[in-house]
Amino acid sequence: MESFKDILIEDLDVYKNALEIKDIQFCNIISNRITMNAVFLESKEFALIGAILKDTLPNFQKLEEDYEQKARKEFMKVIDNYLKYIETIDCFTILDKYSEYYDIFRQHFNSSIEKYTENKEYTSYVIKFCLEFLKKELEENILPYSEDIVTSGILNEILRTSQNFGCTSHQHMLKLILSFFSRLNDYFKVVLLSDELTESKRLLWRERFNVFRNKLKRNISLYELSDTYIEKSLEDLYCFIKEWRLMFIRLMNLLPSIRQQQVKIPSRIENELKKMVSETISKELKGEE
């Protein structure tokens, strides 16, 4: 991989150039290119960088004009920092530098009328609740597969909470795990819901999907605010990204537009989440177990 590292460096430079001229669509193309080249070169660290570069792009579209240019300029500094330490960069440095940037601009990713005080303890509380809910949903597995976007729904709640109240590097890693599993799940839906698939082939694809589903279940079961979680998750994230890019090679643009920038959560899940959070907070305020 060492002899080809310049390719990945050039990818980052191209992304910066596109970001400088505010070509967000091209930035998305380059972030995909970075993750694909990271897969070719088996670089988990560059796959992580590519994932961050891709997932942060929707935030720029939420920024008001006064902050948008500043946010882009500061994010280019994050990339410069990655390039500066390219020879020895690790997952902790990558996440910490992004987390520092996010702490500065997270408030501006909300609307101008939303003002929240940083409260990462509350973010941790919400994430704990959401992961328990997700574990239960994954174990029961009772939703129709065509309608099952519960992972995206959970991600949506965690993204909102972290934008309002802040989050840690570990929680950024968790968000990426949920994000790229959800992207991979979209591709599997295309295959598993195909009318042209024979039952024997459907079974094979279902078994393949369950490998990734089980990785997700294990990952969220091991979630904790420790370096161990980040190290273990880097392997899982790379696994999700690699299969996501291979699915793109198989299907390319056949993936339907079932994902919007703001995920629409099925009302059953949204209402249950709100009810459970409300009841839990009410009990804690009353001093109940």
pLDDT tens digits, one per residue of 155-170: 999 999 999 999 999 9
Do residue 145 and residue 98 come from a single domain? no
Do residue 59 and residue 177 come from a single domain? no
Count of domains in the chain?
A: 2
Residue 96 — very low, low, confident or very high, per pLDDT cuts 50/70/90? very high
Do residue 71 and residue 135 come from a single domain? no
Greatest C-alpha distance within the chain:
62
Do residue 278 and residue 216 come from a single domain? yes
Both tokens of 213, joined, read 């589903």
Do residue 133 and residue 273 come from a single domain? yes
C-beta of residue 55 within 8 angstroms of C-beta of residue 174: no
Whether the CA torsion 274, 279, 282, 283 is positive or negative: it is negative
Distance between CA atoms of residues 216 and 233, nearest Å: 10
Q: pLDDT: is 227 or 191 the higher one?
A: 191
In a domain, 115, yes or no: no
Q: What is the pLDDT of residue 263?
A: 44
Mean pLDDT in residue range 79-83: 94
Do residue 160 and residue 272 come from a single domain? yes
Do residue 219 and residue 271 come from a single domain? yes
Distance between CA atoms of residues 134 and 157, nearest Å: 12
Residue 243 makes CB contacts below 8 A (sequence gap 6+) with 184, 212
Both tokens of 140, joined, read 């029961």
Mean pLDDT in residue range 145-161: 92
Q: pLDDT: is 226 or 269 the higher one?
A: 226
The phi, psi pair for 111, rounded to 5°, reads -70, 160
In a domain, 24, yes or no: yes
Q: What is the pLDDT of residue 136?
A: 95
Mean pLDDT in residue range 127-145: 93
Domain that holds residue 69: 2-109
Residue at a domain's end among 109, 141, 165 = 109
Q: pLDDT: is 112 or 21 the higher one?
A: 21
In a domain, 194, yes or no: yes
**pLDDT above 70 coverage of the chain, percent:** 86
In a domain, 25, yes or no: yes
Is 259 a residue whose pLDDT tops 70? no
In a domain, 255, yes or no: yes
Do residue 24 and residue 55 come from a single domain? yes
Kindly provide the b/e burial profile for residues 150-184, where b requires at least 16 CB atoms within 10 angstroms of the residue's own CB.
bbbbbbbbbbebbbbbbbbbbbbbbbbbbbbbbbb
Do residue 256 and residue 169 come from a single domain? yes
Is 47 a residue whose pLDDT tops 50? yes
* pLDDT-wise least confident of 71-75, 107-111, 200-204, 230-234: 107-111
In a domain, 158, yes or no: yes
Q: What is the pLDDT of residue 114?
A: 78
In a domain, 164, yes or no: yes
Q: What is the pLDDT of residue 109?
A: 79
Do residue 195 and residue 91 come from a single domain? no
Mean pLDDT in residue range 12-24: 94
Mean pLDDT in residue range 199-226: 94
In a domain, 114, yes or no: no
Do residue 267 and residue 130 come from a single domain? yes
Residue at a domain's end among 53, 87, 109 = 109
Residue at a domain's end among 48, 75, 109 = 109
Both tokens of 135, joined, read 């574990």
Helix axes 169-192, 150-165, angle to 10 degrees: 160
Q: What is the pLDDT of residue 147?
A: 84
Do residue 96 and residue 132 come from a single domain? no
Kindly provide the b/e burial profile for residues 95-125, where b requires at least 16 CB atoms within 10 angstroms of the residue's own CB.
bbbbbebbeebbbbbeeeeeeeeeebeebbb
Mean pLDDT in residue range 35-44: 95
